[in-house]
A and B are shown apart, each in its own frame.
Chain A
Amino acid sequence: MINKIVQSMADAMAGIKDGSTVLIGGFGAVGQPDQLIEALIEQGAKDLTCVCNNAGTGRVGLAKLMELGRVRKIICSFPRSAGSVVFEELYRAGKLELEIVPQGTMAERMRAAGAGVPAFFTATSVGTLLAAGKEQREFNGRQYVMEHALKGDVALVEAWEGDRWGNLAYRSSGRNFNPVMAMASDLTIAQVSHVRELGEIEPDHVHTPGIFVHRVIRVDRGPDWA
């Protein structure tokens, strides 16, 4: 019997190595696997490269992971937002490497990694500082810049519901980066608010098929997210 449901956060985090590239879902707090990030803090892996749209807020979650000195590099589109104090401190002190990626390029680089596409061309960033040093080609009279696939060793994703085969369904705008991160990673770990029986999630309503998911853990996010 296939059973991807794990019972403890220690089991969920087992085997995450120092130096890993960790894809972290969410757009701000929505769709962010908050409890998996806490578990990663607990687990202890360091020298991480984190790929996440935002660079954390306050001193919890991703910001805490960074503050503890466990993140070597962050790849994101929008690090600077209200309350991103830890990022700004570390970046200014030269203690954190930053790779800024346009948001659509970031999503597509992960989708490409998941689909076995090593690189692709896009018009985004042509003629800007973010295209510096990248190969460019003309197609049909327009310039495009080459971007490489972005693969994770680990993805931490958040879904509304999941089953023991790893099928996931998200809730409203909580979907965001989670599906592409799930497909772009060697080890995808999902926190879900509800564990369903096989078949209980309508096959037509599965957003991420279980082939992309390796571990599922149920979490209680409290009444605010019910």
Chain B
Amino acid sequence: MQGFDRKGMAARLAQDIPEGWYVNLGIGIPTMVGDFVPMDREVIFHSENGILGMGPAPAPDKVDPWLVNAGKQAVTLRPGGSYFHHADSFAMIRGGHIDLCVLGAFEVAANGDIANWATSENDTAPAVGGAMDLGAGAKRLWVVMEHTTKDGRPKLVEKCGYPLTTPGAVSRVYTNLGVFEIVKGKGFVVVELAPGVTLEQAQAATAAPLHTQ
């Protein structure tokens, strides 16, 4: 079983983002998605710390300490980009102006629930950041993540075991095993499987039924 590697997942998701969308990318694999949208396809990246038109990481000698993304990594601003304060930034998110948000997750359920902020009700130090705002406010929420945990437990499940970030928000999941649409009243529907992955293998790694249309 080959499947996608981390870059492969990010690249596959990037293919599905059309020109003109305003897109917020979460920390981790989601951040890598930006690297796979060609510059001539104008997608406007939003960062919740107050940036629209965020560009790729700068060359090491061109780092501007004032310009970081949500993961606090150095980034650049494309011509046409803008800065604004946090309440405006989250008005963009909560007011339904962001076309797509891409997040990582601990678990995604067949009804679109996402859990990605706390590992138990007694988490030693939970950290929510902007995840609940993005889940509730973005027009679409896609998740990109490994299909299973490091020890092989499925992350696509019937019902989330971890505390929810947002109920019923996720419409697509991109994993190392393929692309899965969440259809209301049905659950996970296979859009495509990664190269070398069979439906049986994907199903064996998923704790909910995989439908094929």
Contacts and interface: CB of A to CB of B under 8 A. Distances in A.
Contact of B84 (A125, A174, A175): A175
A103 B50 contact: no
Contact of A103 (B51, B86, B91, B167): B86
A139 B180 CA distance: 32
B114 to A, nearest CB: 10
A122 B134 CA distance: 12
A104 B87 CA distance: 7
Given A104-B93, A105-B133, A128-B164, A79 B125 contact: yes
Contacts of A224: 65
B51 to A, nearest CB: 6
Given A28-B68, A175-B83, A104 B130 contact: yes
Nearest to A27: B49
Q: Chain B interface mostly helix, strand, loop or mixed?
A: loop
Interface extent on A, as a size class? 35 or more
Interface in A159-217: 170-180, 207
B125 A80 contact: yes
Interface string B77-100: 100000111110111011000000
A28 B67 CA distance: 11
Contact of A123 (B49, B131, B136): B136
A171 B72 CA distance: 16
Interface stretch (A5-13, A59-67, A106-114): A106-114
A92 B124 CA distance: 7
Contacts of A128: 132, 163-167
A173 B68 contact: yes
Given A78-B129, A104-B93, A176 B85 contact: yes
A124 B136 contact: yes
Interface string A72-96: 0000011111001001100110000
A175 to B, nearest CB: 5
Contact of A30 (B48, B66, B118, B124): B66
Q: Which 6 A-B pairs have the closest CB atoms?
A: A104-B90, A104-B133, A127-B167, A107-B86, A111-B87, A103-B130
Given A107-B89, A124-B94, A124-B137, 9 more contacts: A30-B49, A102-B130, A103-B48, A108-B87, A110-B87, A123-B94, A126-B167, A180-B85, A180-B86
25 contacts: A27-B49, A27-B50, A30-B49, A30-B65, A88-B124, A88-B125, A100-B126, A102-B133, A103-B133, A104-B48, A104-B93, A104-B94, A108-B94, A123-B137, A124-B137, A125-B132, A126-B167, A127-B167, A128-B132, A128-B164, A172-B77, A173-B49, A175-B84, A176-B49, A225-B66
